[in-house]
């Protein structure tokens, strides 16, 4: 065998220093392994490469490499690739009973994408039914994982047959049964989506079993910002884990059975507390005038739990993140809430909500269109940046990023699969502004939202009673009576806005909506902790090495017009010197 190996490696011997061979020979006689190593630097990789593509690999390999693999197969793995073939070899790999095969299996599990052909081969190589080895190493055979996914899919579909408490318990049991598959090699290949969804559903089942209660609306908000937000985050994570239509249907159905009652109860409790203690509209805090070197970055629909995900991404970059609560304008729709957190809030007034819930320019009483909003910003000394512009960092600027809210309205539950991408883009935009020389980036947002598997229940509100009607809010006609919670419009207190009970919606067929009275509708991620204040209104992003202890972003006065507000929990992000 040694002589044959020398012949195979003859050409390589000319490139090998004689001194190295002599040094090795002092320890022990040189054998076939030593000479085969000159041809095969990584025999395990060669074995897996051959199994992944038996014919193609041999055609690509240099002379002697296949023979070297056969030689090492006999001595190290106890098989002859030429005699036993790839199918029997794959079975031995799947069983990995011996140390050499175990090492090869471990290599495969670390980088399965490197050996794409092995999946189909292992599927063919599984011991047949009735074979004594059939039950060995069940994690090795793709069809076993597929069968477990199908079994789990059916179990999730069956959850709706159980009372909610029993359904929660069943989710925990299913996670015990299937959780280990998240560590199988098939998870790295994206073949265990339901097992991954179950990880998030475990959190859903655990957290919804603990009621969120509070004697006041502030207590309810405190309960949510302390623990309740994790339920919403878990729902997004579970929905994001699945892509096929059948998997999405099963996960959505199971989530809705547990999540929707919890969501409804929380919204109804919030509305009850709102009736006994209306929120003080004129005390809403607003942005202090931005100093030169500051860019305000608006991100539409950055709900509290999504902001928590943003927090994690920012912390992963060595930045410090903290939280506070915030109050925002009602109804929590962009035309109302966005101007209320803008630098031109003092230049706006409310005449009539019209069809779009937009305020007017106070100076001329014209409707606040996008063009007029940008003009006010420009006249106030703010550069209005496009998506890619970085502007002049010596001045002040307003920028906008992302289409999270638009995506939610368009795609419904599919929004969950876009969250990571949208947040990654937001982080990249923040970094690009800092790299351009801005000393401070304040990320502000306008509202949250409800995302309801199975759709928001339909609430009836006759058109003749309202001036305009959106999904979760409607402007009530003067002197009309509606049997729904109502509150004054933020921009004009004589304009009355109604919202549906609980998580209902005035428009049928909606999975995503906002504008009503609920923690999720209004809670948003924004703010920064600053010395001497308890509340904040934006995410501040400081350039690295900037000193902490900046002036408060809060104004000393209350909000401009109106009196309808919703308390929002704020993501207080202090992005200072890197740790």
pLDDT, one tens digit for every residue, the chain (579 residues): 556 545 544 444 444 455 655 665 565 665 555 555 554 567 888 999 999 999 999 998 887 888 888 888 888 898 888 888 999 999 999 999 999 999 999 999 999 999 999 999 999 999 987 554 555 678 999 999 999 999 999 999 999 999 999 999 999 999 999 999 999 999 999 999 999 999 999 999 999 999 898 999 889 988 999 999 999 999 999 999 999 999 999 999 999 999 999 999 999 999 999 888 765 454 444 555 788 999 999 999 999 999 889 888 888 887 666 555 576 789 999 999 999 989 999 999 998 887 899 999 999 999 999 999 999 999 999 999 999 999 999 999 999 999 999 999 999 999 999 999 999 999 999 889 988 998 888 888 899 999 999 999 999 999 999 999 999 999 999 999 999 999 999 999 899 999 999 999 999 999 999 999 999 987 665 543 222 222 223 343 433 333 222 222 333 333 434 433 343 333 333 333 333
How deeply is 420 buried, as exposed, middle or buried, from its count of CB atoms within 10 A (0-12, 13-18, 19+)?
middle
Both 299 and 447 in one domain: the answer is yes
- Within a domain: 19: no
Of the residues 206, 241, 276, which one is the last residue of a structural domain? 276
**Which of 491, 504, 498, 492 has the alpha carbon at shortest distance from 468?**
498
Neighbours of 388 (CB within 10 A): 8
**Which of 468, 472, 448, 449 has the alpha carbon at shortest distance from 459?**
472
**Which of 457, 499, 509 has the alpha carbon at shortest distance from 474?**
499
Q: What is the pLDDT of residue 12?
A: 46
Q: Which helix (H) or strand (E) holds 487?
A: strand 486-489
Q: What is the pLDDT of residue 17?
A: 56
Both 389 and 317 in one domain: the answer is yes
Cα–Cα dist 338/55, whole Å: 62
Both 188 and 308 in one domain: the answer is no
Q: What is the pLDDT of residue 247?
A: 98
Both 521 and 415 in one domain: the answer is yes
Both 291 and 440 in one domain: the answer is yes
Cα–Cα dist 55/370, whole Å: 63
Cα–Cα dist 277/218, whole Å: 10
Please state the three-class secondary structure of 114-167 as a single string.
HCCCHHHHHHHHCCCCCCCCCCCCHHHCHHHHHHHHHHHHHHHHHHHHCCHHHH
How far, in Å, are 455, 486, 490, 579 from residue 506 at the CA level?
A: 12, 14, 21, 49
Both 134 and 151 in one domain: the answer is no
Both 237 and 334 in one domain: the answer is no
Both 437 and 317 in one domain: the answer is yes
**Which of 535, 537, 548 has the alpha carbon at shortest distance from 575?**
548
Cα–Cα dist 545/353, whole Å: 45
**Which of 114, 527, 481, 520 has the alpha carbon at shortest distance from 303?**
520
Both 271 and 405 in one domain: the answer is no
Q: What is the pLDDT of residue 325?
A: 58
- Within a domain: 14: no
- Within a domain: 11: no
- Domains held by the chain: number: 3
How deeply is 549 buried, as exposed, middle or buried, from its count of CB atoms within 10 A (0-12, 13-18, 19+)?
exposed
Both 407 and 519 in one domain: the answer is yes
Cα–Cα dist 398/206, whole Å: 42
Q: What is the pLDDT of residue 552?
A: 29
Please name every residue paired with 440 in a beta bridge, in sequence order, or none if there are none: 294, 542
**Which of 574, 472, 140, 515 has the alpha carbon at shortest distance from 334?**
515
The dihedrals phi and psi of 266, each to the nearest 5 degrees, come to -65, -40
How far, in Å, are 283, 543, 550, 553 from residue 531 at the CA level?
A: 20, 18, 8, 10
Q: What is the pLDDT of residue 166?
A: 99
Residue 62, domain extent: 39-140
Cα–Cα dist 179/185, whole Å: 13
Both 437 and 332 in one domain: the answer is yes
- Within a domain: 25: no
Both 122 and 190 in one domain: the answer is no
With beta carbons less than 8 A apart as the criterion, state whether 260 and 503 touch: yes
- Within a domain: 405: yes
- Within a domain: 469: no
Of the residues 140, 163, 185, which one is the last residue of a structural domain? 140
Q: Which residues contact 363 (CB under 8 A, 6 or more apart)?
A: 347
Q: What is the DSSP string of 266-316?
A: HHHHHHHHHHHS---GGG---BPPPPTTEEEEE-TT-BHHHHHHHHHHHHT
- Within a domain: 495: no
- Within a domain: 376: yes
Of the residues 74, 106, 140, which one is the last residue of a structural domain? 140
């Amino acid at each position: 065998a040694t002589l044959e190996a020398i012949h195979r490696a003859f050409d390589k011997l000319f490139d090998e220093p004689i001194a190295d061979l002599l040094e090795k020979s002092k320890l022990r006689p040189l054998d076939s392994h030593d000479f085969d190593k000159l041809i095969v630097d990584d025999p395990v990789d060669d074995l897996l490469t051959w199994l992944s593509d038996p014919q193609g690999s041999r055609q690509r390999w240099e002379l002697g490499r296949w023979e070297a693999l056969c030689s090492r197969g006999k001595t190290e793995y106890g098989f002859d690739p030429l005699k036993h073939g790839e199918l029997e070899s794959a079975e031995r790999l799947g069983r990995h009973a011996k140390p050499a095969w175990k090492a090869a299996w471990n290599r495969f599990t670390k980088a399965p994408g490197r050996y794409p052909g092995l999946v189909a081969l292992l599927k063919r190589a599984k011991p047949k039914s009735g074979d004594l080895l059939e039950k060995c190493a069940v994690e090795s055979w793709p069809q076993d994982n597929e069968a477990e996914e199908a079994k789990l899919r059916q179990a999730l579909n069956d959850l709706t047959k159980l009372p909610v408490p029993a359904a929660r318990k069943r989710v925990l049991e299913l996670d015990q049964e299937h959780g280990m598959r998240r560590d199988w090699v098939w998870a790295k290949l994206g073949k265990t989506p339901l097992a991954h969804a179950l990880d998030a559903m475990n959190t859903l089942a655990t957290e919804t079993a603990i009621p969120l209660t509070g004697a006041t609306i502030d207590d309810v908000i405190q309960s949510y910002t302390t623990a309740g937000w994790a339920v919403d985050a878990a729902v997004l994570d579970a929905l994001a884990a699945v892509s096929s239509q059948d998997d999405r249907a099963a996960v959505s159905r199971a989530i809705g059975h547990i999540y929707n009652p919890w969501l409804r109860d929380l919204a109804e409790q919030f509305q009850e507390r709102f009736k006994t203690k209306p929120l003080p509209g004129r005390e809403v805090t607003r942005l202090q005038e931005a100093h030169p070197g500051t860019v305000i970055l608006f991100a539409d629909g950055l709900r509290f739990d999504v902001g928590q995900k943003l927090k994690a991404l920012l912390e992963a970059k060595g930045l410090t993140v903290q939280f506070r609560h915030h109050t925002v304008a009602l109804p929590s729709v962009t035309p109302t809430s966005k101007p209320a957190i803008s630098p031109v809030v003092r230049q706006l007034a409310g005449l009539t909500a019209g069809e779009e819930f937009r305020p007017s320019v106070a100076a001329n009483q014209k409707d606040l269109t996008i063009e007029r909003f940008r003009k006010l910003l420009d006249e106030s000394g703010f550069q209005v940046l496009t998506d890619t512009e970085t502007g002049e960092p010596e001045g002040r600027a307003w920028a906008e990023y992302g289409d999270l809210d638009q995506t939610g309205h368009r795609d419904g539950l599919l929004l969950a699969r876009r969250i990571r991408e949208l947040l990654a883009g937001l982080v990249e935009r923040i970094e690009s502004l800092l790299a351009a020389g801005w000393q401070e980036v304040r990320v502000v947002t306008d509202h949250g939202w409800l995302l309801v598997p199975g759709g928001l229940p339909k609430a009836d509100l006759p058109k003749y009673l309202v001036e305009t009607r959106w999904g979760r809010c409607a402007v009530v006609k003067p002197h009309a009576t509606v049997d729904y919670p109502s509150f004054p419009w933020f921009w004009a207190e004589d304009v009355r806005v109604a919202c549906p009970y609980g998580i209902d919606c005035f428009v049928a067929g909606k999975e995503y909506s906002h504008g009503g009275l609920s923690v999720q509708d209004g809670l948003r991620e924004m703010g920064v902790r600053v010395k001497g204040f308890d509340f904040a209104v934006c995410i501040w992003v400081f350039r690295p090495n900037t000193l902490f202890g900046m002036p408060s972003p809060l104004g000393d006065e209350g909000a401009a017009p109106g009196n309808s507000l919703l308390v929002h929990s704020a993501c207080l992000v202090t992005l200072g010197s890197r740790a």
